[in-house]
């Protein structure tokens, strides 16, 4: 039986117990949320080192970091270094998006070393194989694609992004009525190109049951990709995006009926005032499935700082109900991230997630901010460093910018407000 089926039978699985302990929530509550599909716990039977995490309603907002090789940087060893950085930054999940070099070795190594759930986008590897074997991505066979998915399941991948909602009808309409930036999802573009070239329906949609069967073998969670997500603000919340979302809602029901856990992916590039509407729409159309958003970026003109544009959008999305944030790094739109970019991206997303958790009244979230405020009131610097999201960077700045040891800091010095208040207010 799968995780969701066991929850439906009333079982409190070891995964549910673990998540309940992490979140400070009763196991029975988590079990009921898993049974209803409002929380997912991606946990492939073959991912031995996994410490399961929950994603969804009432839980702490989670953060994912994308890793993986690319044609110019095919060395999987570099991606393992980034995995270590990601884990040290307390990431909640990683995705291996490798498209070059020893792809399977990279995936297996990441899974072997990762204590957090690992996701992949199998169509990338299928595209690489097709290019090698047939000379073109669009020559890929449906069977080839399902074989890659089966390989990923067997290797221990906890969740897979599959662009099932990019149907032939939506793509043909989009071709007739183009948007500014077409398709920016790699998986979405591959499936759309494949359909237009062959005149066939997307096999991930037409053979969705086959996908569900593969997921069942090792209990893989589906992450329904948004292949038609907007690639710029001008395309946000448009017809193509919403038509795909409607299809994803239909597939959420089918996955749940088949006993497969499912979440839904979301945009992308969205103006600040459309973000809440996007979350409300996803929750409604997709039957409250956990919502996994990429950013969203609130402007298109911040290359080099897209982690900040994404933190703004991510905080607002999560406060409105998004459950899971995919990080964006400073090198987004420019190149493959470095290990340092991975760190910057994760911390920015964690700030966004935490800001939202304060709004969501997630258990324990407020405790951290209160403890920091107390440490500041007491001018207890060691405690402040401990409580910081990134103690390492805080300590470094504190040391660099305070060459002379003192109780106050080098910004205000003897004019420290807290120090003045201490003197004249008397009570603390």
Footprint of a second copy on 38-57 (CB under 8 A): none
Quick one: tokens of 105?
Answer: 């070795």
x/- letters, 94..113, toward a second copy (CB under 8 A): -----xx-------------
* Out of 137, 262, 263, 321, the residue judged to bind a second copy by CB under 8 A: 137
Of the candidates 311, 286, 284, 281, the residue with the CA atom closest to the CA atom of residue 296: 311
Q: Which is nearer to a second copy, 205 or 219 (CB)?
A: 205
| Residue 132 binds a second copy (CB under 8 A) | no
Q: Which is nearer to a second copy, 79 or 332 (CB)?
A: 332
**Least distance from a second copy to the Cβ atom of residue 119, Å:** 17
From the CA atom positions of the chain, what is the Rg in Å?
Answer: 22
Site for a second copy in 251-280 (CB under 8 A): 271-273
- Which one of the spans 6-14, 66-74, 79-87, 111-119 is the region binding a second copy (CB under 8 A)? 66-74
**Least distance from a second copy to the Cβ atom of residue 295, Å:** 12
Q: Which is nearer to a second copy, 27 or 271 (CB)?
A: 271
- Measured distance CA(368)–CA(385) in Å, rounded: 12
CB 310 within 8 A of CB 48: no
For tokens 């066991």, what's the residue? 6
| Residue 405 binds a second copy (CB under 8 A) | no
**Least distance from a second copy to the Cβ atom of residue 38, Å:** 22
**Least distance from a second copy to the Cβ atom of residue 124, Å:** 7
- Measured distance CA(191)–CA(198) in Å, rounded: 11
**Least distance from a second copy to the Cβ atom of residue 270, Å:** 10
**Least distance from a second copy to the Cβ atom of residue 120, Å:** 14
Size of the site for a second copy (CB under 8 A): 113
Q: Give the other-Cβ count within 10 Å of 129's Cβ.
A: 17
| Residue 343 binds a second copy (CB under 8 A) | no
Q: What is the DSSP string of 230-288?
A: -SSGGGTT-HHHHHHHHHHHHHHHHHHHTT--EEEEE-SB--GGGHHHHHHHHHHHTTT
* Out of 90, 134, 141, 303, the residue judged to bind a second copy by CB under 8 A: 303
* Out of 87, 112, 285, 416, the residue judged to bind a second copy by CB under 8 A: 416
**Least distance from a second copy to the Cβ atom of residue 63, Å:** 14
* Out of 45, 210, 254, 398, the residue judged to bind a second copy by CB under 8 A: 398
| Residue 403 binds a second copy (CB under 8 A) | yes
- Measured distance CA(85)–CA(71) in Å, rounded: 22
Q: Give the other-Cβ count within 10 Å of 401's Cβ.
A: 10
| Residue 80 binds a second copy (CB under 8 A) | no
SS3 of residue 160 by DSSP: strand
| Residue 308 binds a second copy (CB under 8 A) | yes
**Least distance from a second copy to the Cβ atom of residue 349, Å:** 10
| Residue 196 binds a second copy (CB under 8 A) | yes
Could you give phi then psi for residue 251, rounded to 5 degrees?
A: -75, -30
Of the candidates 163, 196, 161, 164, the residue with the CA atom closest to the CA atom of residue 178: 196
Of the candidates 185, 181, 65, the residue with the CA atom closest to the CA atom of residue 124: 185
* Out of 250, 363, 374, 380, the residue judged to bind a second copy by CB under 8 A: 374
Which ranges of 24-94 would DSSP assign to H, the alpha helix? 27-36, 76-88
Q: Which is nearer to a second copy, 38 or 128 (CB)?
A: 128
Quick one: tokens of 40?
Answer: 């997912």
Category of 364 on φ-ψ map: left (φ > 0), alpha (ψ -120 to 50) or beta? left
């Amino acid at each position: 039986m799968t995780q969701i089926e066991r929850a439906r039978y009333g079982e409190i699985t070891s995964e549910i117990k673990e998540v309940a302990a992490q979140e400070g929530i009763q196991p029975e509550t988590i079990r009921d949320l898993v049974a209803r599909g409002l929380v997912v716990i991606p946990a492939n039977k073959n991912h031995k080192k996994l410490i399961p995490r929950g994603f969804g309603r009432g839980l702490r907002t989670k953060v994912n970091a994308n890793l993986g090789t690319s044609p110019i940087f095919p060395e999987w060893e570099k991606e393992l270094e980034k995995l270590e950085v990601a884990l040290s930054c307390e990431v909640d999940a990683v995705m291996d998006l490798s498209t070059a070099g020893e792809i399977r070795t990279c995936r297996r190594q990441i899974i072997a070393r990762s204590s957090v759930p690992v996701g992949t986008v199998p169509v990338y590897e299928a595209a690489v194989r097709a290019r090698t074997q047939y000379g073109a991505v669009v020559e890929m066979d449906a069977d080839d694609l399902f074989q890659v998915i089966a390989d990923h399941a067997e290797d221990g991948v906890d969740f897979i992004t599959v662009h099932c909602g990019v149907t032939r009808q939506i793509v043909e309409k989009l071709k007739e009525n183009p948007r500014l930036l077409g398709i920016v999802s790699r998986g979405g573009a591959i499936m759309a190109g494949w359909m237009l070239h062959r005149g066939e329906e997307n096999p991930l949609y037409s053979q969705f049951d086959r996908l569900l069967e593969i997921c069942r073998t090792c209990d893989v969670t589906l992450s329904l990709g948004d292949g038609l997500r907007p690639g710029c603000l001008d395309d946000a919340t448009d017809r193509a995006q919403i038509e795909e979302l409607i299809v994803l809602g239909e597939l959420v029901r089918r996955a749940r009926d088949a006993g497969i856990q499912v979440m839904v992916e979301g945009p992308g590039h969205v103006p600040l005032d459309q973000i809440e509407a996007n979350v409300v729409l996803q929750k409604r159309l997709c039957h409250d499935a956990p919502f996994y958003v990429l950013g969203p970026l609130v402007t298109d003109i911040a290359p080099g700082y897209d982690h900040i544009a994404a933190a703004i959008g991510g905080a607002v999305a999560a406060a409105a109900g998004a459950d899971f944030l995919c990080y964006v790094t400073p090198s987004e739109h420019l190149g493959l991230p470095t290990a340092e970019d991975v760190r910057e991206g994760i911390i920015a997303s964690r700030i966004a997630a935490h800001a939202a958790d304060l709004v969501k009244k997630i258990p324990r979230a407020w405790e951290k901010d209160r403890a920091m405020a107390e440490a500041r009131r007491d001018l207890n610097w060691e405690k402040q460093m401990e409580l910081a999201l990134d103690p390492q960077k805080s300590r470094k700045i504190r040391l660099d910018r305070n060459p002379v040891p003192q109780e106050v800091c080098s910004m205000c010095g003897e004019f420290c407000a807290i120090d003045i208040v201490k003197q004249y207010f008397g009570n603390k």
